[in-house]
Amino acid sequence: MAKYRQNRINDAVALELAVILREVKDPRVSDAMITVTAADVTPDLKYAKIYYSVLGADGDKEQLKQIYLGLKSAAGFIRSQLAKRLNMRVTPELTFVEDGSVKHGVEIAAILNSLDITPAEEEDEDEL
């Protein structure tokens, strides 16, 4: 399968899943701020890894575990909705993986914001 087609499928699955997750009635999923960051569908369209991040969990491992269990239990509903919305030959089996890149990016931004660096223009004026 061509790489551009694979990327289009991944993007389409990720976009639809972002909408479908808002329709899930499981309180573990509906009460959380879940963002689908990426989807990785295998070339044979049988399996898909769905990368997600949770906003506001703040490292609470029990809450993250409950969200994962909610996603896992709703996987059948999510897959059926995905099959209705996307016209694919095969609807992939979904596996949910927590994506820590958003949290890591926030930590890096906090470190960068805490640094006390003067702009280059001010340094040049001080030297004169």
The single residue listed with the structure tokens 């329709």 is 23
Question: Distance between CA atoms of 60 and 42, rounded to whole angstroms?
Answer: 31
- pLDDT of 4 reads 87
Tell whether the model's pLDDT for residue 23 goes beyond 60: yes
The single residue listed with the structure tokens 């709703």 is 74
More confident residue, 97 or 122: 97
Instruction: Show the domains of the chain with their CATH numbers.
Output: 3-99 (3.30.300.20)
CB neighbourhood size of 107 (10 A): 11
CA distances from 103 to 32, 45, 88, 93, 110 (A): 15, 29, 33, 27, 11
37-96: per-residue pLDDT in tens?
999 999 999 999 999 988 876 667 888 899 999 999 999 999 999 999 998 889 999 999
pTM of the model: 0.78
Q: Among 13-27, 40-54, 80-94, 109-123, where is mean pLDDT lowest?
A: 109-123
Tell whether the model's pLDDT for residue 127 goes beyond 80: no
